[in-house]
Amino acid sequence: MIKADRAKLVSNILNEHYPETPVPLDHESVYTLLIAVLLSAQCTDERVNKVTPALFDVASCPEDMSKVSQQKIYEIIKPCGLGPKKSSAILELSKILVKQFSGQVPRDINELEKLPGVGHKTASVVISQGFGIPAFPVDTHIHRLAQRWGLTKGKNVVHTENDLKKLFLKDDWNKLHLQIIFWGREFCQARECFGIKCKICVACFPKRTKPFAHKRP
């Protein structure tokens, strides 16, 4: 089976299981989505969703957040981990949005990546889920699944992102990003499937009998 055939198979299975793709991080605006995605680094979406209501009760827009002390932000977001770094980033990026962007989150991915605490993956999520602009955010989990499914031989997330963008239609990128995340959490976990148990792994490589060896990013 060639890579394009595996991509079609993956897409068909994902569309069957996840016709709807709700954004897993609770948010009310592009700004609150940005903050939630920033907090999700090395933290579960579930925990972020428990923390953000208290944070957004204090401030839910850049203008208000820029007036909150870093200590106050830190006290609220501490359960998400990396508290000092994340609280500093939230405060500083809020000030930048007020001063340079009239309090609006920029739609330009390059401008987003210049903000404190916002890397390429975070910016891609905001662009795709916040503005509906085609992007294909790839984290270590999607990188792992794409390898298991024979969609990439990339040694890092950048290579994998480029490979996935070539395989799938641009209009499907935003949906696929979420579908792959959902599938990985439900059926193709790192320490349970091993590339040999879930429906997609079996369909893509029916003769695979040994656990798949990943190339780490």
Respond yes or no: is residue 99 known to be catalytic. Answer: no
- Write down the pLDDT at residue 217: 56
Contact by Cβ (8 Å): 141, 125: no
The band of 60, judged by pLDDT with boundaries at 50, 70 and 90, is very high
Average of pLDDT values for 73-90?
A: 97
pTM of the model: 0.94
CATH ID of 30-131, from 1.10.286.10, 1.10.340.30, 1.10.10.60, 1.20.1250.20:
1.10.340.30
Average pLDDT, the chain: 96
With a cut of 70, say whether residue 205 has pLDDT above it.
yes
Question: Among the options 86, 121, 163, 175, which is catalytic?
Answer: 121
Burial of 51 (0-12, 13-18, 19+ CB in 10 A): middle
Does pLDDT of 215 surpass 80?
A: no
pLDDT at residue 137 tops 80: yes
Domain ranges of the chain: 3-21+136-204, 30-131
- Can 57 be counted among the known catalytic residues? no
What 3-state class would DSSP assign to 178? helix
Confidence of residue 214 (pLDDT cuts 50, 70, 90): confident
DSSP string for 31-85: HHHHHHHHHTTTS-HHHHHHHHHHHHHH--SHHHHTTS-HHHHHHHHGGGS-HHH
